[in-house]
Structure 1
């Protein structure tokens, strides 16, 4: 035999009730427990309160609507041959309700028993409809579910009497039975209610006493998910869990299961199946869940909490007050999320959802009235509870939790581990709740992949190529590397778009034009900080000083930075050091590999050498793919001016080639390499030996072209001289014993730079360990390879766990 409980959202829907009929008919002699329709109990209570004021007019329409809803539902789901009986019984109950309302209006007073009796009609009306629909006998739960206590302190089930009466009530009944949840009788033959949501408790006691094979609770949703699916799109159904895990999740706000119902089920070891009537998804709660499950089973959260801290309490008074506080909260089913105690300071703290503040007011007033007691209130908080029975036997769970939060710049206001060792609760600022849930969920549940939330600034040659690569390689990276790339934002020089769920990279240019918001450094920061995404990566594919100036603020908000922009790493030395230190202290990344050699692993290699205790003795490098292309292209047929234009056509050179020809780009790269080698170097410290006269860089771009064309003949003469000597020109950056310089050098065939082709770069590194030089060679210019280097930096961030 099984006990099937159907909640208010199901019994109020004709569509769902038709499924209920099929579910019941598939079982042998089930016992069906029903709730009132959703919202009906609250409405009945409001009707009683308003009727007792003598104003019946204000409630007539709502009261009549309530009756109409039940009547129409009966007509839709009850078979034709049973409708007459169903409607007759409904009308009888309506008449009883009419009489009670008339009396309330006249006498303008009501007792707890009168209120409970009137509220009981919510379940009674539904039980008539369901009973006639499935052709089952309807039993009055007040005859066998017996409550003890009173309305002021709350009712609980009288176990001994209830057990005796359940056995008697069901002993001679054959076939399906329908009875009501929520309501009970008393030993004084009055009616009581067991608390909102307590229909689960009614079903559980019946299941325990009658030794049911299983109890089922049917809902129109998946009740137990790994986290709130409204906040975590990757949350999934929990298929198996223990009674204790279900209790912890329930009391902390997950689903609507009445947590007290788990006690009788656990005592009798009766499995509870939480079933979704829409899709059949099931969570089985039992004494023997899968022992190979993850350490954490689920995450509960409360979005808006208040925390009371009482201090200055006498040490002998403290334990009693803590105990009383717990009793008050538990008796009212208030999900208090932190209960921390400090005997030394005579203090304790309680954190509860704001909606339950009223339950705690009396206690807080009593405590704060003590002369020595001081009360502090903190608002705008949220709580997160991780739950898992395997936590008892696993080490490092708390550390993993704190690491996930700390890495995402989320401060913990308070924390506590449950005495059963199946839960850890943290309290944090409300604004961080979604970010925290995503970070924790990924850390504990999504070990098969890690998500990076990426914001790309710059849609030019490098940025555009990067976005194309991110789009085309997304599936491969997910399958191969276990990294989910979510490009949640894109910005160009004037507009930006932001979508937490991901920007459509097939039409980002169109979206920027039609939906883009004004893009400024301040607007970008504001949008990112408000979004507060976890594992966030800011990618700068611009050459804008204003964007580089954002890095420190971003890092201080635990947003990793990846940049092709050289300005920050080669600019003010103190700022460079501050950026690196901030990233290191916060456990995030500031990466700029492409600042020197596009996609070549130069900075990472030098970093590995330095971190392992080596020392850079000498470094020689051809660092400008653009200049190398120009010097490899110049010939008798191709003068300097034409070679420069060819570099622009090949997209190696900047739109204004003077940036490349001035050597500034190489100087910046050399400064970065020197700094990464451990030296305090600025651009002003670099000795320069340029090949273009200084006055060429003055005036307009047209002026430059006119001057450089006149310079072609002179430059060709110089080229012929070195060619006759069997040499070639290379623009070389040198770091030697702490001194830096850049300039044009003529190298012969014995030098490694001699055979550099096209836009290739070559870096020669001598270290204290590498007497024979280490060489790194490859393409050092071009949008695709630079974007690939940025892409590699982004992927490397996923290695932080």
Structure 2
């Protein structure tokens, strides 16, 4: 024999009940069945509301009553055939009339006792079970209705009655031995006391009804039908990758249920557990899916962790003080005070020093807990032996559960490492000696992130998801997005990286999608995006609170650079090609470095120098391996190198600069490149990364531009000076040519001093044959004293700059 229980969502409306009927028709062909049904979803709360309103003499109770009535009457009209409808409606209307009279009595006497509560809320199950039995009898004649109140006998603790097990078991066993029908429909949740008064079984009461029946008849299986396909590895509403657990032990199921897995309420299924009756969680709306089978033994030994669950709305109570150390009885008094006031303790942890005890409770009880505990220890507080109870709210508990955790080393290490790497702060920890459960108290705002990273750690192929927020989607930014689009599958397959662009922005609009923006149509989507500000973009990134978040700056904007510290403080890594932050005041540069370390968020800016060339990375490797930089010589401007490589006596300096701008080698304002400030910033960054304290004003800038060009107030004026001062530039070229040299704009750093300027480079120098827009860097170190370490290659251009940014992103993903 099988016992099937259908919850409120499964019988919420006519469509759902039709699905239930099909399931029962199919099952009845193979088995005798006891069917326990709940009230229509939400009805119990509505019935409670009618009683509360009537007690307050609020005539709105009649409106809520009518809403309840209409739901049940609609079921009859929708699902009962014409020939039976009148009789069924008469019975339903009779029950509804009884309910209405009870409510009218409440309206008059204003006393909503627990006994009356049980009478009123019982109508939900009594009505649903009657209607469903009548619907079922239309197609399955061998079915009947049995009132659970005739079987389940309790004490008189109304709203949460205690079952008289022996009498109840005898009643159920006797009834089913005599029963000749294939299917028996019973209302869940309801029972009666020895005086014949209606009682109810409290939270999870319908599950309890089903478990009592399964235990009494020694059922082959207890099936609990709900709106999900079993118990999941994590809450599927928060963790998209979560999946149903096929098999799980009773102990694992109870641990997960205790920590928020709402498909099962452990106390109510205890009768089935005691008789080792398997429990199967099934989905009414996907009946062919396997669901979760709960049995005595865990047959799956491969996965140490079976599930990750959580409880929200937690408050942490801390009782501490030197007066507790070595004095027995503090714990007893604390828990007794909480127990006397019916405050449930969810989590306990105590340091071996005995200096403090932490307990987790539900936030709803926090205010009362503060009052009763301080009252209990009022003497010790007055003598300053202990401190007043500390209450912290806005917390949640996340728990990792599995029978096999105790036989696998390092589970707790993996758990806390995953949380720590994603900057989820742990406030308290609890682990039982059975090692079946490891629980951690964290901030409520971090729940989704915590569940996601833990699920990835224990259940998924170790694919790391990077969530990118990119500001600046012009030339370089657009190319970066295209590179990401083309390489997504490769990165997923070969590097186990899922690179997902969650937010993008230009100077006017911003676009976000937590599931990842479609990179095939981002331009059209961005046009429909929201108006952006730096602050609004930051606040949105912060609100998403995603694991492995990376802010990518593909601008040259000072205001954007000024936001880096805000991101780092939120443990959001920063990748930037914008040189302003690292070349600003030395104190600001150091602050960013320190924030990166403090908040475990990377700050990478490889493209600040040499675009896609590994200049900064190589420099960092030298320093980290114990080498010391003595001097640096470099050509660091791809745009200036392009200009001087193409400038000759056949074309004007003006035309070459114009060409460089048109081909994207210079900034939109070419004065930035030709003034040497850009090169000065780059050598400054290298000097700082080499460990030297230096500011931009300390760098000697030997400009090759004439005074007229330097004083030009607009770009157009600047270009005019390039024509009027053509002789000046011709002389620079002629001098180099006469000396058999090449003109190169060189940056130099030597023992703390730096300079930039145009130089004539002879044939023996490594810079002489530098072509096109290439950059070159020579590192002289204690190890590379005579022959420098040379890095050479394309140092400008949108493609290589985007590649450099992409490289930093991949570096973060692999760390």
What's the TM-score once normalised by structure 1's chain length? 0.89
Distance 1:251 1:221 in 2: 18
Whether 1:40 aligns to 2:40 is: no
Q: 1:784 aligns with which of 799, 807, 810?
A: 799
Equivalences, count: 794
Instruction: For residue 778 of structure 1, report the CA deviation from its aligned partner.
Output: 1.5
Correspondence for 1:285? 294
Q: Give 1:657's aligned residue.
A: 670
1:681-703 Cα shifts (integer Å, max 9, x gaps) = 33333344443334421123333
Which range is displaced more, 581-590 or 107-116?
107-116
Shift of the alpha carbon at 1:24?
Answer: 1.3
Asked whether the 8 Å contact 1:247–1:262 carries over to 2, the reply is no
Conserved? CA contact 1:492–1:519, under 8 Å: no
**Equivalence map 1:218-237=2 (5 Å):** 218-222=225-229, 224-237=231-244
C-alpha contact (below 8 Å) 1:318/1:347 kept by paired residues: no
The aligned counterpart of 2:124 is 122
CA distance in 1, matches of 2:563, 2:61: 60
Partner of 1:632: 645
The aligned residue for residue 563 of structure 1 is: 576
Q: What secondary structure does 1:568 align onto?
A: coil
Shift in CA distance, 343/748, structure 1 to aligned 2, threshold 3 Å? closer
Distance 1:552 1:171 in 2: 74
Q: 1:677 to 1:366 in 2, by over 3 A?
A: closer
Alignment of 1:270 onto 2:277: yes
| Rounded Cα–Cα distance in structure 2 between residues aligned with 1:93 and 1:725 | 110
Q: 1:68 to 1:716 in 2, by over 3 A?
A: closer
- Per-residue CA deviation, residues 329-378 of structure 1 (Å, 9 max, x unaligned), is 9x89x5x4432346866754433333456996896586366664733333
The answer as to whether partners of 1:337 and 1:425 remain within 8 angstroms in 2 is no
Alignment of 1:362-441 (within 5 A): 364=373, 367=376, 372=381, 374-418=388-432, 420-441=434-455
**Residues 560, 64 of structure 1: alpha-carbon distance in 2 compared, 3 angstrom cutoff:** closer
Cα distance 1:543–1:283, how it changes in 2: closer, same or farther (>3 A)?
same
In structure 1, what is the equivalent of residue 741 of structure 2?
727
Greater mean alpha carbon deviation, residues 652-661 or residues 77-86:
77-86
**How far 1:158 moved relative to its partner?**
3.1
**Range with bigger deviation, 786-795 or 10-19:** 10-19
Do residues 150 (structure 1) and 157 (structure 2) align?
yes
Contact 2:431–2:439 (CA under 8 A) maintained in structure 1: yes
Deviates more, 1:23-32 or 1:65-74: 65-74
Which residue is equivalent to 1:137? Answer: 144
Aligned counterpart, 1:3: 3
Aligned partners of 2:337 and 2:376 also within 8 Å: no
Which residue of 71, 74, 82 maps to 1:72?
74
Q: How far is the alpha carbon of 1:529 from its aligned partner?
A: 3.3
Give the superposition deviation at 1:792.
Answer: 1.2
Q: Distance in 2 between matches of 1:44 and 1:130?
A: 19
Q: 1:599 deviation in Å?
A: 0.6
Could you tell me whether the CA contact under 8 Å between 2:370 and 2:389 is conserved in 1?
A: no
Matched with 1:611 is: 624
Q: How far apart are residue 759 of structure 1 and its match?
A: 0.7
Give the whole-Å Cα distance in 1 for the aligned partners of 2:805 and 2:299: 43
Displacement of 1:32: 0.8
User: For 1:145-170, what per-residue CA distance to the aligned partner results, in whole angstroms no more than 9, with x for missing partners?
Assistant: 33346338x43333333333322221
Q: What CA distance in whole angstroms lies between the structure 1 residues aligned with 2:302 and 2:333?
A: 38
Q: Judging changes above 3 Å, is the alpha-carbon distance between structure 1 residues 142 and 325 closer, same or farther for their aligned structure 2 residues?
A: farther
The answer to whether structure 1 residue 192 and structure 2 residue 199 are counterparts is yes
Distance in structure 1 (CA, Å) of the matches to 2:379 and 2:238: 42
Q: Which moved more, 1:704-713 or 1:781-790?
A: 704-713
User: Are the counterparts in 2 of residues 318 and 346 from structure 1 also a CA contact under 8 Å?
Assistant: no
* 1:270-295 deviation digits (Å, cap 9, x = unpaired): 33222222233422323344535544
Distance 2:60 2:410 in 1: 60
Contact kept in structure 1, 2:156 and 2:199, CA below 8 Å: no
- 2-structure distance, mates of 1:644, 1:103: 93
| Residue 230 (structure 1) shift | 3.7
Could you say which residue in structure 2 is the equivalent of 1:589? Answer: 602
The equivalences for 1:82-93 within 5 A come to 83=85, 86-87=88-89, 89-91=91-93, 93=95
Are the aligned partners of 2:231 and 2:263 in contact in 1 as well (CA < 8 Å)? no
Map 1:758-777 to 2 at 5 A: 758-770=772-784, 772-777=787-792
For normalisation by structure 2, the TM-score amounts to 0.88
In 2, the alpha carbon distance for the partners of 1:51 and 1:144 equals 31
Matched, 1:534 2:536: no
Give 1:514 deviation, angstroms: 4.4
Instruction: Determine if the alignment matches structure 1 residue 239 to structure 2 residue 246.
Output: yes
3-state SS of 1:11 partner:
coil
Q: Is the 8 A contact 2:570 2:599 kept in 1?
A: no
CA distance in 1, matches of 2:271, 2:554: 62
Residue of structure 2 equivalent to 1:22: 22
Distance in 2 (CA, whole Å) between partners of 1:83 and 1:327 is: 52
Work out whether 1:671 is the aligned partner of 2:687: no
Q: Distance in 1 between matches of 2:734 and 2:254?
A: 87
Q: 1:357 to 1:187 in 2, by over 3 A?
A: farther
RMSD: 3.3
1:216 is matched with 223
Task: Measure the CA separation in 2 of the matches of 1:433 and 1:753.
Answer: 55
Change (3 A) 1:501 1:355: farther
Contact 2:456–2:462 under 8 Å retained in 1 = no
SS at match of 1:245: helix
Residue of structure 1 equivalent to 2:65: 63
Does the aligned pair in 1 maintain the 2:583–2:695 contact within 8 Å?
yes
| Whole-angstrom CA distance in 2 between matches of 1:528 and 1:95 | 55
User: What is the DSSP-based 3-state SS (H/G/I as helix, E as strand, rest coil) of the residue aligned with 2:582?
Assistant: helix
1:506 positional shift: 5.0
Change (3 A) 1:721 1:113: closer
Q: CA deviation at 1:760?
A: 1.2
Structure 1 contact 623–780 (Cα < 8 Å) conserved: yes
Whether contact under 8 Å (2:473, 2:506) holds in the other structure is yes
Shift of the alpha carbon at 1:545?
2.2
Q: d(CA) in 1 for partners of 2:108 and 2:588?
A: 80
Question: How far apart are 1:94 and its partner, in Å?
Answer: 4.4
In the TM superposition, residue 663 of structure 1 has moved relative to its aligned partner by 1.9
1:169 to 169, 175, 184: 175
How far off is 1:439 after superposition? Answer: 4.0
Q: Matches of 1:250 and 1:670 in 2, distance apart?
A: 60
Q: CA deviation at 1:657?
A: 1.6
Contact 1:779 1:785 in 2 (8 A): yes
Q: Which runs of no fewer than 5 residues in structure 1 stay unpaired?
A: none
8 Å CA contact retained: 1:671, 1:681 = yes
Q: Is the 8 A contact 1:302 1:353 kept in 2?
A: no
Q: Which moved more, 1:734-743 or 1:673-682?
A: 734-743
What's the offset of the Cα at 1:518? Answer: 4.0
Residue 320 (structure 1) aligned with residue 339 (structure 2): no
Identify the residue that residue 761 of structure 2 maps to in structure 1.
Answer: 747
- Greater mean alpha carbon deviation, residues 357-366 or residues 487-496: 357-366
Residue in 1 that maps onto 2:140: none
Gaps of 5+ in 2: 138-142
- Preserved CA contact (<8 Å) 1:5 1:217: yes
Cα deviation 1:416-472 (Å, max 9, x = unaligned): 234543333333334444444444444444443222222222233322322333344
Deviates more, 1:383-392 or 1:552-561: 383-392
Q: 1:489 to 1:671 in 2, by over 3 A?
A: same
1:300, distance to aligned residue in structure 2 (A): 2.8
Q: What secondary structure does 1:644 align onto?
A: helix
Secondary structure, counterpart of 1:672 in structure 2? helix
